[in-house]
Structure 1
């Protein structure tokens, strides 16, 4: 497990992301762990999520837009 202070994290987010591809990164604030950064794949494994982004995008064709989708078709008021 890797650990970074919140200051280190803010100064080098790219490094934290690179390390998180390999192992979870614990972000600390005043020496206490407050957040965990991990790869999306690791998150999927621990959450039991089985769908991939490809599966979710494929479902878009099967989903029928209901009344909520109609709001996008209404003209917006402009001029404040």
Structure 2
């Protein structure tokens, strides 16, 4: 796995190159000569995070029009808020 380092300016001018480089390893993006961000492929990100899917990823599944969602009921008694 190779690490590619590019400046923020280079990243802004050629995002496609950064995305392509991220397929071979992390892309370190510098700002004023200091490391500021890291671009990873989704596969590498999932490997590092244990493969857990985020809520946003679960909700953004392409090709899925609708699905049923019934949130669990709370077992505790709640009271109205006093807004006076």
| TM-score of the pair, normalised by structure 2 | 0.62
Query: What is aligned with 1:10?
Result: 12
Query: What is aligned with 2:28?
Result: 26
Secondary structure (helix, strand or coil) at the match of 2:5 reads strand
| Cα distance in 2, alignment partners of residues 46 and 39 from structure 1 | 11
**Deviation >6 Å, runs of 4+:** none
Segments of structure 1 that go 5 or more residues without pairing to the other structure are 67-80
Cα RMSD of the aligned pairs, angstroms, is: 2.2
Q: Deviation string for 1:28-65 (max 9, x for gaps)?
A: 001000000010000000100155xxxx558x75x525
Q: Deviation string for 1:55-77 (max 9, x for gaps)?
A: x558x75x5255xxxxxxxxxxx
Largest Rg, 1 or 2: 2
| Cα distance in 2, alignment partners of residues 25 and 50 from structure 1 | 22
Report how far residue 15 of structure 1 moved: 0.1
Number of equivalent positions = 60
| TM-score of the pair, normalised by structure 1 | 0.65
Segments of structure 2 that go 5 or more residues without pairing to the other structure are 72-84
